[in-house]
């Protein structure tokens, strides 16, 4: 299941689907995740015990520093291994032993937090009756703040914490929605759960409610790693009772693959006859934004708040080589020009599938799809007519591609994407494959010595090969998407690895592990070099380039001019 599948499903099951939010859901609001806090705790203890200035260990994302810190704590022999589920609790308790001090530490983290788009969208879904019950392991008040913004008060919101678990009992029984249950307490609470012993001793009443409600509802989990044993045990208990009648949907980021325990849980639920899916998602904000796409009745005042949060990008001059540098390089290339017209054919044909079948049957060099106004297509006029002559053409003219229809996954958006992929495949030494909603531009292994790959070969160390212990081939690849933002069309690129199709389960697992290891070793500098190298392939080492899907002069050509300079973000200047 992908995001688009879930969005459609959500609006059918929304009243019967609960949400479970972990720390990742608050990351965009400026609150560190457990992963970042683990390194913060290691930094605190290392610097204090070794008398090292914290400035010397400031870049906690530096792999060299991480190795130094990890070697130090591994040498002690008293801490869990890196990546262990007990790592967060163990280091938090060791760095800050006192519960009161831990509460003050968390309060300090929350001072710099601000509402994210995702929390406002969640509150909007609550107001429209699409989200009734939300569980969270977070201490922050972001959900309450969002509800206050969207509702105008928090009067209708029921909040149950470790200090008042009975509120959940009454509210769930009386169906007083929306309800937020804070399993680990609130930052204002006298009771918090952070350490190993505390997490293992999950409040029995709140856990009981989680098990009971999951036996009646479905559950969507976002931003949660499954690190604390008590919550995972509760979810597994539900699975053992054939719970989740409306499904379990567990979202994870591409750089945080699901663990074995979660995979076993999903299989167990599926075996019981219920639906369970692990779905890759970019961020909590993006998921919440997608859920609002199919809602036509979002109140105007809510739209205003959402628009204010969404407007976080603006145009800036390109910085010079000297002086201030961009804070973050983006993986988006501006499309300086793209097709604004295509052919329109009115004929007696069915939907998009019948259109594709007609093109394939005629073996026509045409890119086409269906709209209510007729078939819209790129290609030579003679090829388009040959594809649809058998369906009694009554009109044959032009169709204007409106920018507003490129803002979402429309027929026009999909047709431009297909045309761009065809243009790149025609003019570059690559092949394009379909992978769910993405298109993958893959190094053509028969032409990998082409000069266009010299930067990519240097950046990656190799363009293709065999997956170890298999006969399956792999090659460097690039995920392609197009999006319309800031009144412009952008080509979004994401380096990846393509593996030839394999049906054996064992080979699939080895291939996935191989891809995961290969991508995980690419840190910021390597990632930047690889993106630059792919830009060189796309633009043929030019500052900008034009590619054409057909290379024709008659009919409607699909021509794209792409800039080799990617977008970037710049630190906001205070006025």
Rounded mean pLDDT for each run of 10 residues along the chain, 575 residues in total: 86 90 79 80 91 80 82 90 78 85 77 79 90 86 88 85 72 84 58 43 67 88 75 83 87 74 87 88 82 76 64 52 59 93 93 90 94 92 94 93 82 91 95 79 94 94 90 91 88 91 67 85 87 94 94 92 85 47
Which H or E element spans position 399?
Answer: strand 395-400
Domains of the chain by start residue, with CATH: 3-29+116-305 (3.40.50.1220), 34-110 (no CATH), 337-406 (3.30.70), 429-539 (no CATH)
120 contacts 149 by C-beta, under 8 angstroms:
yes
- Closest-CA residue to 270 (of 569, 562, 503, 1): 1
d(CA 163, CA 186): 9
- The separation between CA 128 and the C-alpha centre of its own chain, rounded to angstroms, equals 24
DSSP 380: -
d(CA 546, CA 410): 24
Whole-structure pTM value: 0.54
242 contacts 273 by C-beta, under 8 angstroms:
yes
pLDDT attached to residue 187: 38
Q: What share of the chain is helix, strand, coil (3-state, %, to 5)?
A: 45, 20, 35
- DSSP readout, 87-137? HHHHHHHHH---HHHHHHHHHHHHTT----HHHHHHHHHHHTTS--EEEE-
pLDDT attached to residue 197: 47
pLDDT attached to residue 219: 92
d(CA 363, CA 356): 10
d(CA 21, CA 356): 41
CA distances from 3 to 6, 9, 136, 340, 389 (A): 5, 10, 22, 28, 37
- DSSP readout, 55-99? GGG--TT-HHHHHHHHHHHHHHS-SPPTT-TTHHHHHHHHH---H
Instruction: Report the residue count for the chain.
Output: 575
Residue 555 gets the label, from left (phi > 0), alpha (psi -120 to 50) or beta, of left
pLDDT attached to residue 509: 79
Residue 413's beta-bridge partner residues?
none
CA distances from 245 to 6, 15, 209, 518 (A): 16, 13, 16, 38
d(CA 187, CA 162): 11
H-state helical runs in 152-220: 166-174, 196-200, 204-214
- Closest-CA residue to 301 (of 127, 158, 115): 127
Here the tokens at position 444 are: 């053509």
Residue 251's beta-bridge partner residues?
279
CA distances from 528 to 134, 135, 495, 534 (A): 38, 38, 10, 10
pLDDT attached to residue 571: 54
- Closest-CA residue to 383 (of 547, 553, 555, 548): 555
Spatial CB neighbours of 167, under 8 Å, sequence gap ≥ 6: 158, 159, 160
3-state secondary structure of 310: helix
295 by Cβ neighbours in 10 Å (0-12 / 13-18 / 19+) ranks as: middle
242 by Cβ neighbours in 10 Å (0-12 / 13-18 / 19+) ranks as: middle
418 contacts 367 by C-beta, under 8 angstroms:
yes
3-state secondary structure of 273: coil
End-to-end alpha carbon distance in the chain: 46
């Amino acid at each position: 299941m992908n995001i688009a599948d879930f969005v459609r499903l959500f609006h059918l099951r929304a009243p019967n689907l609960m949400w479970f939010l972990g720390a990742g859901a608050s990351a965009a609001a400026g609150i560190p995740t457990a992963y970042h806090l683990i390194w913060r705790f290691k930094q605190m203890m290392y610097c204090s015990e070794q008398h090292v200035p914290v400035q010397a260990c400031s870049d906690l994302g530096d792999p060299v520093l991480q190795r130094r810190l990890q070697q130090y704590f591994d040498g002690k022999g008293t801490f869990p291994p890196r990546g262990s589920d007990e790592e967060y609790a163990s280091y938090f308790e060791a760095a800050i032993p006192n519960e009161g001090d831990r509460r003050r530490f968390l309060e300090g983290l929350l001072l710099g937090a601000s509402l994210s788009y995702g929390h406002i969208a969640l509150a909007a879904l609550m107001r429209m009756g699409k989200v009734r019950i939300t569980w969270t392991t977070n201490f922050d008040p972001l959900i309450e703040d969002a509800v206050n913004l969207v509702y105008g008060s928090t009067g209708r919101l029921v909040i149950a914490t470790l200090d008042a678990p009975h509120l959940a009992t009454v509210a769930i029984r009386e169906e007083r929605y929306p309800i937020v249950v804070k399993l680990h307490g609130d930052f204002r609470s006298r009771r918090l759960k952070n350490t190993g012993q505390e997490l293992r001793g999950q409040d029995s009443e709140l856990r009981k409610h989680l098990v009971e409600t999951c036996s009646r509802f479905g559950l969507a989990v976002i931003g949660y790693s499954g690190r604390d044993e008590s919550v995972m045990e509760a979810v597994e208990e539900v699975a053992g009772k054939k719970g989740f009648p409306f499904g379990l949907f567990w979202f994870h980021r591409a750089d945080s693959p699901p663990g074995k325990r979660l995979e076993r849980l999903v299989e167990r639920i599926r075996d019981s006859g219920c639906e369970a899916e692990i779905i890759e998602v970019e961020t909590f904000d993006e998921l919440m934004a997608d859920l609002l796409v199919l809602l036509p009745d979002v109140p105007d005042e809510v739209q205003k708040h959402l628009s204010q949060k969404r407007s976080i990008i603006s145009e800036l001059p390109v910085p010079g080589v000297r002086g201030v540098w961009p804070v973050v390089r983006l993986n988006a290339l501006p499309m300086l020009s793209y097709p604004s017209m295509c052919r329109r054919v009115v004929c007696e044909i069915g939907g998009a599938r019948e259109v594709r079948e007609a093109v394939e049957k005629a073996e026509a060099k045409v890119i086409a799809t269906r709209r209510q106004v007729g078939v819209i297509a790129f290609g030579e006029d003679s090829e388009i007519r040959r594809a649809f002559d058998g369906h009694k053409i009554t009109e044959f003219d032009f169709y204007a591609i409106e920018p507003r229809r490129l803002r979402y996954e429309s027929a026009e958006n999909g047709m431009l994407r297909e045309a761009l992929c065809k243009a790149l495949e025609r003019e570059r030494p690559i092949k394009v494959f379909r992978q769910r909603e993405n298109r993958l531009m893959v190094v053509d292994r028969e032409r990998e010595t082409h000069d266009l790959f010299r930067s990519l070969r240097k950046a990656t160390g190799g363009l293709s090969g065999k997956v170890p212990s298999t006969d399956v081939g792999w090659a460097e690849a690039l995920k392609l998407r197009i999006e319309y933002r800031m009144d412009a069309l952008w080509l979004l690129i994401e380096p990846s690895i393509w593996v030839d199709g394999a049906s054996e389960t064992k080979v699939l697992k080895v291939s996935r592990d191989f891809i995961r290891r290969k991508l995980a070793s690419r840190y910021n500098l390597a990632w930047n070099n690889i993106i630059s190298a792919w830009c060189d392939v796309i633009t043929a080492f030019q500052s900008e380039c034009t590619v054409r899907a057909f290379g024709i002069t008659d009919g409607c050509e699909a021509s794209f001019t792409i800039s080799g300079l990617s977008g970037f973000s710049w630190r906001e200047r205070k006025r």
